[in-house]
Structure 1
Amino acid sequence: MIEKELPLFPLNLVAYPGEELNLHIFEPRYRQLITECVNNNTTFGVPSYVLSKIEYGTEVRIVKLEKTYDDGRMDVRTVGMGIFKVLDFVSPWPGKLYAGGTVEMIKADHDGDVVLQEELFKLANDLFEWLGMEGLVKFDQKMLTYAIAHKIGLSKEQEYELLKTTSEKKRQEFLINYLKLTIPIVKQMEQAKDRIRQNGHFKHLDALDF
């Protein structure tokens, strides 16, 4: 495994490899971090502070410094690269306002199962149909699980669990199991909403023949 030192920007979210993450930077320590990364063309790490601990996160690179405000605030576009495990977290990093530390880069497998992939996309589309949101998200057969995870309503804890899962096949199974549990609940809620809408309206009912 590869170890490296990274500036660290803990956030209460999960960023995945390949995901675009837009940040509004206002704290002086993180303005310093972003400025140095832009000037030196270096990356930084976003540990996911989801379970009240600093453990796993994603290395990100800055794509564009979108805007700098007169008071020093910044809007910055980043994209996720690889996943890491934090070996040593130091706050503040010596000589800096921000935190940093040593991380171990985690090799993640991106070769999933074709059959599971088809099932996953079918279930994801089913979910969006029941939510009345079909067409809002286009699911592509080439999409990795990382690209689907933020679109189907996972909790932050579930997103974090997926981040720690290094096998694409296991990530496919994780999302399939989630959707199989979620879709019946969504279906039941949508049917309940229909019944509630009908309540109080005049109904044409066929008499039952006893």
Structure 2
Amino acid sequence: MSAFLPLFPLNLVVFPGEKLNLHIFEDRYRQLISECLETGKSFGIPIYLDNKLTELGTEVKVVALHKRYDDGRMDISSQGIRVFKIDSFVNPVSDKLYAGGEVSFLTEDTDVQLPSPRLLELLQTLHTLLDTPVEYDKTKAPFSFQVAHKVGLSLSDEYRLLALPKESLRQMYLVEHLQKIIPVVSEVERTKARIRMNGHFKNLDPLDF
């Protein structure tokens, strides 16, 4: 399935189902969002990565206009819908200020409905180390997109995750990532604890040798 979407490139990855708040201030995007509000149509957020526009992005819908300023700026809430691949790109669209393009929507293969026990275990370990509780709904698929921003992925890593066509592959990708970073985080936390102890009185047990 293909369609023409107005495009709003950003230096971030929006995952399907994710809620995103945006402050709209450029003229071209004020025009784009105003049209979306008037017509109810969606727009696309392709990822701008390493100083270039990538071929993948996420279709997004405006779910609320929170404030419209006197100068035309807007605060909106939006939500990701589905992943697309750009087939053609035009900047700007004829008679418009913003860019757009023909896109093909990728088929989502949610081949597993629940998170793997190993992924849940590693998530718990990471957020216990960081002392930062994370909220997620284990029954809501795809689970990988719920937690992708909460595990320390780089922008390029998030892009690779978005490109994976199956939920099972995305969960495996997250497991491999967490297995790599948890030992690093653990060592950082131990170092921080040693630094905090420096200069404090220490009650040390005598060594028996």
Shorter-chain TM-score bucket reads over 0.9
**Which consecutive residues of structure 2, in runs of 5 or more, have no partner in the other structure?**
none
Asked if the contact 1:60–1:79 (Cα under 8 Å) also holds between the matched residues in 2, the reply is yes
Query: What is the aligned counterpart of 1:138 among 129, 135, 140?
Result: 135
Q: After the TM superposition, which segments of 4 or more aligned residues of structure 1 sit over 3 Å from their partners? A: none
- Counterparts of 1:205 and 1:61, CA distance in 2: 60
The answer as to 2:194 corresponding to 1:195 is: yes
Compare 76-85 and 200-209 and name the one that shifted more.
200-209
**1:52-201 → structure 2 map (5 Å cutoff):** 52-112=52-112, 117-133=116-132, 136-143=133-140, 144-201=143-200
Residue deviations 1:54-106, cap 9 Å, x none?
Answer: 31000011111111000000011111001000011100011100000100100
Q: Match of 1:202, as an amino acid?
A: F
Asked if the contact 2:136–2:146 (Cα under 8 Å) also holds between the matched residues in 1, the reply is no
Shift of 1:113: 6.9
Match of 2:35 in 1: 36
Q: Match of 2:12, as an amino acid?
A: L
- Counterparts of 2:131 and 2:100, CA distance in 1: 44
- Counterparts of 1:5 and 1:139, CA distance in 2: 33
- Counterparts of 2:113 and 2:176, CA distance in 1: 15
- Counterparts of 2:40 and 2:26, CA distance in 1: 21
Asked if the contact 1:61–1:79 (Cα under 8 Å) also holds between the matched residues in 2, the reply is yes
% identical aligned pairs? 49
- Counterparts of 2:34 and 2:53, CA distance in 1: 26
**Which consecutive residues of structure 1, in runs of 5 or more, have no partner in the other structure?**
none
- Counterparts of 1:41 and 1:179, CA distance in 2: 39
Q: Match of 2:106, as an amino acid?
A: I
1:150 counterpart SS class = helix
Asked if the contact 1:15–1:58 (Cα under 8 Å) also holds between the matched residues in 2, the reply is yes
Residue deviations 1:182-204, cap 9 Å, x none?
Answer: 11111111111111122222222
TM-score, normalised to structure 1's length? 0.94
Shift of 1:137: 1.6
The number of residue pairs the alignment matches comes to 206
- Counterparts of 1:58 and 1:113, CA distance in 2: 21
Q: Match of 1:33, as an amino acid?
A: L
Q: Match of 1:86, as an amino acid?
A: I
The answer as to 2:27 corresponding to 1:45 is: no
